Structure 1
Amino acid sequence: MLRMMLEIPIPEKWKQLYYAWDIRVFIILSLFFQMFLILVAPLRKRTKNNWIILSLWCSYLLADCAANFALGLISSSQGNPNENQAKKDSRVGMHHKDLLAFWAPFLLVHLGGPDTITAFALEDNELWPRHLFGLLFQCVVAFYVFIQSLPENRLWIPTMFMFLTGFIKYAEKTYSLFLASSNRFKEYMFPTPDPGPMYAKLSIEYHSRREAKLPTRIQMVPEPDRANSVIKNSIKGNLTELEMVRHAYEFFKTFKGLVVDMILINRRQQNRSRDFFLNRTAKDAFKVIEIELNLIYDVLFTKLPVVFCLTGAISRILSFATICASIFLFIYEDKTNFRSFDVMITYILLFGALILDVTALLMLLFSYWTIIYLWKSLHVEIDKKSIKTSIISAFLRLLTDQGPLSDKKEHPQTRKWEIKFLRRRWWEFISTYNLIDYCLHPRPTLNQRFIDKFGFTGFFDGLKYVEYKNVDQKLKDFIFQELKIKSELADDLETTKEISSARGSWVIQLQQDWHSLLTHVVDVDYDQSIIIWHIATELCYNKELKTETKDDKKDHNLRDIAKVLSDYMLYLLIMQPNMMPVIVAGIGQVRFRDTCAEVKRVLNIGVDWDQRNACMKILDVPTDVPPVTISGDRSKSLLFDSCILAKDLMGIEEKDPSNNKWSIISKVWVELLCYGASHARANTLADQVSKGGELITIVWLLIAHFGLGDQYPINEGKARAKLIVGK
């Protein structure tokens, strides 16, 4: 009775229409998702466009759903004896079981996915056991469909070929996820066990010779320096694109363990990297890091590590050959009893599989891994201008923006932008978020309730309040020089730890006139520092804009750098708290909200303020009494702590104009950025390479290369013991 009440009346003709087209629609939909993924997935390391990321995420999830559902429909139509015969005939027709059996392996190919994406996020790699189970189960289903079509199946040979191809593709995806899972990735990074000198044997020999009254001693013999010859050969001067790729690959092999919180076992690895980057320009150093992060992306999110080996090459050749053989056999097969539309679908599947395979091959060839393979196989020396070097360098230009296509004189600006977008290694922009702007432009109350109720606050705040700023060369140069200076000063482990743990104090301590500012970085938490210095930076910035004249010809590079880093760090704290050190994520949000509430109260929101006048209004409030004296622990607002800092900065500069406040502010922001990069979760930072990339991820890896992080806790012995008998 309950079943009759819940049954929805559906016209019979609609049911027949569904039964006639369900398999065909879902199998074409599955192919469409594969085409979309293979073409669009490479863009996600170059852009943060919300619509591209959202469409890619939907396609990634729906691709497996469509393939699994279509395979289930095929299995149901082939082997369910209780299904209505009219329904089965509508789905397959009297002579179409051969085609359905032929279609099933194509869905295995689709479940294997394209080479350009195996995981959407790092967490997907941990689900490799689920994909392994899916591989076994779906292969059994596809084989069951094939068995059901025998012995009358005229397409059994091409079906077996495609079944082999589907198994290879699905197995490659599962194995790629397995290799990129955190446990397997960490195991792969463990060095060969080193038990050290044979203590027992050496001790016995030493004791026996001492008993025999022979002059015996143990001498420490220094080990030979095993510094990387490739890095030594190119330690000075600017780098070519080929040299950048080669060095990036060398560092990738050493530093990729940082993704899973591995430490570098010896100091020699640090010294190689540190010496290399100390002799680089900021432009070359950032390019090497960007290439290295691209290699990390390939290992964690694509099939490239699996297919770019001997076994992978064999599987590529085998899958390509089986697809071509299936096309050839189907072309010459008698199709008299097949529906013309189903024949067309079969051709679409066959040539779609061929296009996917060829596209994957071309993307593989035009990748950094091809350059690395050619370099290793041809043994090209980077300091020799040989024909081999010229050929590889010319090929490499196709992958970068250094080739002739980027010439402004020969190509329009639009064309140049398109080429640069396709060749750039990351997004090359940073997101900025401003507290004063957020307070001056609140959401309407009705929208606020709706957004908060359905959990869309972060999404809509990103659209309304987040702006994007280009990471220009001036910003890169400034960050690089600050890290370079610190690396040159970090001569011992204690100094390195002190520099790495600094949150602005290191810079302030070096300047005698600015010591009074130490309380704003030493006596506050990390999230407090970000909010206090952000508001202080904004107040100083708008105060200067308000008072400067058109004839002012001062260099404002430091001011612009401080402003963009200030807004970027607040964006990370508020919009991306998972990329901040764990201890600050929650309390930082509370302090931000309380501070915003006080800003709105001071400005009496409802009055039409612009940014500059709002900052002037805040600066006009007297700050003779410390804020904590009045508010105590009741409020976490930091507005007037920031106001005090801004007035201190401007006051010190007024007393001595040689004390440029923007020099201190910009350097403090670099320290805050570096502290956040070195203390955030490594897997969270690494995950950003699949989302357009982040400046903080590049800084994190740059810190490690300069030897300023905490990845080198073990002091390495530089000598081994040797038993000497005789004088």
Structure 2
Amino acid sequence: MVEVIPKEIKEVWDSWNIRGMIILSLSLQAILILFSPSRKRTANKFLTLLLWSSYLLADLSANFAVALIAKNQGKDPKPDDPPQDKKLVAVWAAFLLLHLGGPDTITAFSLEDNALWNRHFLGLVFQVLAGVYVVVQSLPNVLWVMILLLFIAGTSKYLERTIALYLASSDKYRGSILQASKSAFDYTEQPNNLDMDSILVSEMYMKELRGQLKPPKLMIPNRELTNLEILQYGFFFFNNFKSLLVNNIFSLELRDDSKAFFRAPKLQDEEALRIIEAELEFIYEGLYTKGAVLHSWVGLVSRFISLGSLLSAFSIYYYRHNKIQEFHKADIVITYTLFLVGIALDVLSLLIFVASDWTTAILSTLKDDPERKNSGKDKILDWILGLKKPKWKWHTCCEKHQEEVLNTQFLLRRWTGSISMFNFITYSMNADTERIHKSRGGTFQLLWKTAFFPFSYVFSIIQTWSSNIAIWFCDLHRYIFHHVIILPPGQNQVVRYIVDIIKTFVGFWFRVPYFFAFLVTCIINFLGIKDLFNEIRLVRSVHGEPLTRNLWSFVFSELRDKSQILDSLENTATKSSARRDWASSHTQVQIADHEMLLRYVTDVDYDHSLLIWHIATELCYQEEDSAKEKCDQSYHTNRTVSKMLSDYMMYLLIMQPKLMSEVAGIGKIRFRDTLAEADRFFKKMGIENSRDVKLASEIILSVDTSIEPRDVKGNHSKSVLFEASSLAKELLRLEKDFGKNKWETLGKVWLEFLFHAASHCDATTRMELLSKGGEFINFVWLLMAHFGLGD
């Protein structure tokens, strides 16, 4: 009896485990198909965690459920089981194969998943074999037709996923660029062995081959582009510049056509932004979804087979009249749920497929004659694409001047539309971030703050009480030792001995909290999680600013000018000398009149220079808080652009080390040493707890830097704090004594930082960022490639 009860409990537990895993697998499929399209629009950590865990658990839960079904199929049925119960469970095994095919909206969570396409193909073989084993164990099975149809649907979807992973792998991208050389003309033959007919056939073949490989002629825009044309150009560039994804080059003819297109006087900066935006979305769809498969004839046939098989299987099950007598009621409900939710998810995937930009681009190709009138179909597609057009909103900045910021609705975005920012001085002072623009979604932010106000208020009270208790504790300790436990003069040795014992006892108890604090610090250091706490603090200091039209126009116009200047150089030696340093010769010439500024560009490494210019920019920004008194709009624009680029490049250097690995150098070490020097300096000045960035900036600028800081500290520290102070003073003097706009100079320098990083950043990490909301540097990199400026 003792052995039978655990066995029965185990059988019931296994039975409910199967049902639970089936529902879990279906729920994970719903989560992935509903939420995965949003990961290209936001870098929200919670969404990333949800999708990552769902992506991993989706395959694990399906595999585990198949194993449980296979384990229970060989057992003898219990007397109270319906006669066909295990026959229905075999249908669930076929459904799990359908789930392993994954949703259309996500095939890979990261680029590494694409490289494992052969493992997924092997997994398909094993899963089919496991499913066959389950079905064989259930024979004879009256539901074999349903099982066969579901097996066809599941195998078809699993093949779609495997092919999508293969097409998105880097080896496939490289292979698609390399075309085998084919020629119908054999030069080893003697001329007298060739007749005129064979020569003509060979020439016709070569012309046909060249016609196949050569992309259609790119028309230079001479008017405002329509929404449909912008998408078509984005699709054109995606198809012809795929080699950029694997750091391969493309033909000079393509490069020249691209340069001519983006240099066209009629092409507006917003149209260029939208073309790049569409191109990056096509790259995302090709790398992380089934887009490349579903928009081919293989995908269409596969989807027709899988959806048709699923509907046919549901029809057979629905019209089976004696289900209640054959199966458990709970199992009937679960099977209906699997069918209905599966069909709903497939229909939703079909709608997403039909409404995708890829489908729109295929339905309407670029016209040979741009003046030809649009058809009715093109007008409808153009109107639909107009709904996805980026929306700009006039915004009053904290300095009371107006500028346009990107404010596209969340579900219509192709990327996050914002720029992440990190400021060194704000971080070192542990101060609250002062935003240049109000964050989007003000109503949502207000509701969020209102909901969490009680928790934040309680936390602030606890934090305040803790600091007050610590201060009171130290004061009490000092008071007891200096006013309570004291010896009047003339006391004998015994009394002194007793008082010393009391002092030691009291001192011990007062040092207990410090002992625990020391113990916690030792544990953190022993476990090696100190960097984790620092990383959390760094992440909390990052905030986002919406992309401004002025910033994009600034970047676009500067790249257009650089492209024209580079082409105007007379020889390749001059071109190569223009790229000798990380900053171009054009920018160096602009600041060459001020030798003090130039040496912070030419005589230091990229990461060293970036940190110096970042701190100097913030010192100038805080010192000149009265910039609103200036009425020149361009002055405000240059100031805001310089501030945004400075904080953005600092964010990339510190928070995206993989992306900046080729240019970062020892940036982390310089950042750490500069932060340590700033902490020591603020403590010395007594402002470590003030959290006043403006006050800290004024004190840093007040330090005498007449002696070079690098000569004072030598090689013992990589700190650049007071080098930045010296640079800031030179920038302020540049405007005061020479009447030059320092923000215009700063803007040019920060563009050089951005362009150099964009052309040298890690290619793999760059593509991974597309699945995390995207990054502004991706737009700059792709635009530079189209202008022929990438290295």
Cα distance, 1:462 vs structure 2: 4.8
Query: What root-mean-square deviation, in Å, do the aligned CA atoms of Structure 1 and Structure 2 show?
Result: 3.1
SS of the counterpart of 1:430?
strand
The structure 1 residue matched to 2:590, chosen from 498, 510, 519, is: 510
Q: Contact 1:46–1:425 at 8 Å: present in 2 too? A: yes
The structure 2 residue matched to 1:297, chosen from 249, 263, 284, is: 284
Instruction: State the partner residue of 1:480.
Output: 556
The structure 1 residue matched to 2:781, chosen from 695, 700, 719, is: 700
Give the number of the structure with larger relative contact order, counting CA–CA contacts within 8 Å between residues 6 or more apart.
1
| Distance (Å, rounded) in 1 between the aligned partners of 2:581 and 2:372 | 40
Aligned pair 1:242/2:228, yes or no?
Answer: yes
Q: 1:564 to 1:198 in 2, by over 3 A?
A: farther
The structure 2 residue matched to 1:614, chosen from 696, 718, 725, is: 696
Cα distance, 1:238 vs structure 2: 2.1
Cα distance, 1:641 vs structure 2: 1.4
The structure 1 residue matched to 2:719, chosen from 621, 626, 637, is: 637
Q: Which amino acid letter does the alignment assign opposite residue 271 of structure 1? A: D
How big is each residue's C-alpha offset from its partner over 1:609-666, in whole Å with a ceiling of 9 and x where there is no partner? 4001101101111111112212211111111111111111111111121x11100111
| Distance (Å, rounded) in 1 between the aligned partners of 2:608 and 2:408 | 42
Greater shift after overlay, 457-466 or 523-532?
457-466
Instruction: State the partner residue of 1:157.
Output: 145
Cα distance, 1:357 vs structure 2: 1.2
Cα distance, 1:513 vs structure 2: 2.7
Q: 1:562 to 1:184 in 2, by over 3 A?
A: same
Cα distance, 1:695 vs structure 2: 0.4
Q: Which amino acid letter does the alignment assign opposite residue 355 of structure 1? A: A
Aligned pair 1:49/2:49, yes or no?
Answer: no
SS of the counterpart of 2:373?
coil
Q: Which amino acid letter does the alignment assign opposite residue 288 of structure 1? A: I
The structure 2 residue matched to 1:363, chosen from 352, 364, 369, is: 352
Q: Which amino acid letter does the alignment assign opposite residue 617 of structure 1? A: I
Cα distance, 1:552 vs structure 2: 6.0
Instruction: State the partner residue of 1:143.
Output: 132
How big is each residue's C-alpha offset from its partner over 1:68-110, in whole Å with a ceiling of 9 and x where there is no partner? 111111111113x6xxx5xx74997653111111111111111
Instruction: State the partner residue of 1:5.
Output: none
| Distance (Å, rounded) in 2 between the aligned partners of 1:488 and 1:195 | 38
Q: 1:340 to 1:429 in 2, by over 3 A?
A: same
Instruction: State the partner residue of 1:23.
Output: 18
Q: Which amino acid letter does the alignment assign opposite residue 256 of structure 1? A: K
Greater shift after overlay, 377-386 or 425-434?
377-386
Aligned pair 1:678/2:722, yes or no?
Answer: no
Instruction: State the partner residue of 2:420.
Output: 431
Cα distance, 1:514 vs structure 2: 3.3
The structure 1 residue matched to 2:314, chosen from 327, 333, 342, is: 327
Q: 1:690 to 1:473 in 2, by over 3 A?
A: same
How big is each residue's C-alpha offset from its partner over 1:510-548, in whole Å with a ceiling of 9 and x where there is no partner? 345334422101111111111011001011111111x55
| Distance (Å, rounded) in 2 between the aligned partners of 1:418 and 1:340 | 51
SS of the counterpart of 2:624?
helix
Q: Which amino acid letter does the alignment assign opposite residue 475 of structure 1? A: L
How big is each residue's C-alpha offset from its partner over 1:273-321, in whole Å with a ceiling of 9 and x where there is no partner? 0111112221110110010000001111111111111121111111111
Q: Contact 1:505–1:518 at 8 Å: present in 2 too? A: no
| Distance (Å, rounded) in 2 between the aligned partners of 1:534 and 1:498 | 26
Aligned pair 1:531/2:531, yes or no?
Answer: no
Q: Contact 1:380–1:388 at 8 Å: present in 2 too? A: no
Task: State how 1:176-195 maps to structure 2 within 5 Å.
Answer: 176-193=164-181
Q: Contact 2:173–2:242 at 8 Å: present in 1 too? A: no
How many residue pairs align between the two structures?
Answer: 659
Instruction: State the partner residue of 1:308.
Output: 295
Q: Contact 1:109–1:167 at 8 Å: present in 2 too? A: yes
The structure 2 residue matched to 1:589, chosen from 668, 680, 684, is: 668
Q: Contact 1:178–1:184 at 8 Å: present in 2 too? A: yes
Greater shift after overlay, 383-392 or 343-352?
383-392
Instruction: State the partner residue of 2:733.
Output: 651
- Could you tell me the percent identity over the aligned residues? 39
The structure 2 residue matched to 1:72, chosen from 67, 71, 76, is: 67
Cα distance, 1:594 vs structure 2: 0.1
Instruction: State the partner residue of 2:647.
Output: 567
How big is each residue's C-alpha offset from its partner over 1:335-369, in whole Å with a ceiling of 9 and x where there is no partner? 11211110010011111221121111111100111
Greater shift after overlay, 108-117 or 485-494?
485-494
Instruction: State the partner residue of 1:166.
Output: 154
Cα distance, 1:504 vs structure 2: 3.4
Q: 1:272 to 1:378 in 2, by over 3 A?
A: closer
SS of the counterpart of 1:579?
coil
Q: Contact 1:21–1:91 at 8 Å: present in 2 too? A: no
Instruction: State the partner residue of 2:442.
Output: none
Q: Contact 2:679–2:688 at 8 Å: present in 1 too? A: no
| Distance (Å, rounded) in 1 between the aligned partners of 2:341 and 2:731 | 64
Cα distance, 1:149 vs structure 2: 1.1
User: TM-score, normalised to structure 2's length?
Assistant: 0.78
Q: Contact 1:436–1:611 at 8 Å: present in 2 too? A: yes
| Distance (Å, rounded) in 2 between the aligned partners of 1:455 and 1:660 | 41
Cα distance, 1:31 vs structure 2: 0.5
Cα distance, 1:390 vs structure 2: 1.5
Q: 1:535 to 1:377 in 2, by over 3 A?
A: closer
Q: 1:556 to 1:170 in 2, by over 3 A?
A: same
Cα distance, 1:383 vs structure 2: 4.0
SS of the counterpart of 2:651?
helix
Greater shift after overlay, 623-632 or 501-510?
501-510
Q: Which amino acid letter does the alignment assign opposite residue 521 of structure 1? A: V
The structure 2 residue matched to 1:467, chosen from 521, 543, 559, is: 543
Cα distance, 1:502 vs structure 2: 4.9
Q: 1:78 to 1:228 in 2, by over 3 A?
A: closer
Q: 1:231 to 1:550 in 2, by over 3 A?
A: same
| Distance (Å, rounded) in 2 between the aligned partners of 1:45 and 1:557 | 29
Q: 1:578 to 1:382 in 2, by over 3 A?
A: farther
Instruction: State the partner residue of 2:479.
Output: none
| Distance (Å, rounded) in 2 between the aligned partners of 1:472 and 1:402 | 11
| Distance (Å, rounded) in 1 between the aligned partners of 2:222 and 2:574 | 26
Cα distance, 1:144 vs structure 2: 0.9
Gaps of 5+ in 1: 1-9, 206-222, 407-416, 711-727
Cα distance, 1:606 vs structure 2: 3.2
Q: 1:418 to 1:466 in 2, by over 3 A?
A: closer
